[in-house]
């Protein structure tokens, strides 16, 4: 049983760190796209209208991915330290991970 808990904790830590790295990549991509749009057409009002929209969508995605990744890291650390609250948090996160599409991520096997 001890090995199972360690493996589950490692998976949650790995997926949490990958999620945070993914959110940073989304931030880089959407921030770069907004910068390119604003520099490519500085006098076009339609292009300048798109810059805050792209920034807003990127910011929302970053916050969503980051918010879903941090509890996984917390659950992984809690499982490694055998905290009693970590089991409940892991069960809740596992149920949420079941909604992930397997082709987009490995959330379903983790759940």
Q: What is the pLDDT of residues 54-111, one digit of tens each?
A: 889 999 999 988 888 899 999 999 999 999 999 999 999 888 877 766 545 565 566 5
Predicted local distance difference test score (pLDDT) of residue 67: 87
DSSP one-letter string for 8-65: HHHHHHHHHHHHHHHHHHHHHHHHHHHHHHHHH-TT-HHHHHHHHHHHHHHHHHHHHH
Predicted local distance difference test score (pLDDT) of residue 108: 56
Backbone angles phi, psi at 12, to 5 degrees: -65, -40
The model's pTM: 0.79
Length of the chain: 111
Q: How far apart are alpha carbons 31 and 51 in whole angstroms?
A: 9
DSSP element (H, E) containing 68: helix 45-80
């Amino acid at each position: 049983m001890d090995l199972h808990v360690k493996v589950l904790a490692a998976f949650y830590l790995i997926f949490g760190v990958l999620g945070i790295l993914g959110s940073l990549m989304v931030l880089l991509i959407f921030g770069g796209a907004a910068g390119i749009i604003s520099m490519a057409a500085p006098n076009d009002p339609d292009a300048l209208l798109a810059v805050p929209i792209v920034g807003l969508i990127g910011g929302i995605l970053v916050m969503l991915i980051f918010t879903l990744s941090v509890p996984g890291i917390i659950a992984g650390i809690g499982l490694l330290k055998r905290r009693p609250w970590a089991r409940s948090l892991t069960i809740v996160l596992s149920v949420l991970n079941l909604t992930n599409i397997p082709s987009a991520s490995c959330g379903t096997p983790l759940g």
